[in-house]
Amino acid sequence: MKLHQSIILLFLGAFVEVIFSSCKHGCGGQGGTSAHNKEESHNMGLNCMNCHSGTGEGQGCFAVAGTVYNQTFSKTKSNPTIQMYTQADGKGDLIKIIDGDDLGNFYNENSSGLTGSFYPVVVSSDGKVQKMLEPISTGACNSCHGVKTDKIWVD
């Protein structure tokens, strides 16, 4: 009987190890929201959603995330503000404001108001503005910017 119990315990232990090692953080954790003058983010320029999604290893799920650079793309732009509008050129309703951090990253878990397509406007800490004139429907900004198109920038 002891050999049988040992085999069962060994099997259960291996099963539990497989189950827990394959679990992802998912969307249950609190990934938070970026804020001016904070340095809690990382991996500037990478697609944040690779990790901060339901299948990723990052804590929490981001609705919108990316990195802002200077015009020459040589360094990140500290403390940007991202504004989301319902119409191009900063027109229509302002549906969300996200303050970027000291490292140039911006991220937000709250997807309220972000249904359909929207138009981002990037504002630097000294008030310079860069507008995206085409609508986007995903908040995974670095999945295109820095890959298929120029990095997000403002100067």
**Structure confidence at residue 11 (pLDDT):** 41
One-letter amino acid at 76 equals T
58 pLDDT tier (thresholds 50, 70, 90) = confident
The model carries a pTM of 0.80
pLDDT surpassing 60 at residue 18: no
Contacts of 84 (CB under 8 A, 6+ apart): 64, 94, 95, 96, 97, 98, 113, 114, 118, 119, 120, 121
In angstroms, the CA 84 to CA 47 distance is: 19
111 pLDDT tier (thresholds 50, 70, 90) = confident
The two three-digit tokens of residue 48, written as one number: 């944040």
pLDDT in tens, 43-56: 999 999 999 988 88
pLDDT: is 43 or 32 the higher one? 43
**Structure confidence at residue 22 (pLDDT):** 36
pLDDT surpassing 50 at residue 9: no
99 forms beta bridges with 81
pLDDT in tens, 86-95: 999 999 999 9
28 pLDDT tier (thresholds 50, 70, 90) = low
**Structure confidence at residue 13 (pLDDT):** 42
Length of the chain: 155
The two three-digit tokens of residue 127, written as one number: 């008030």
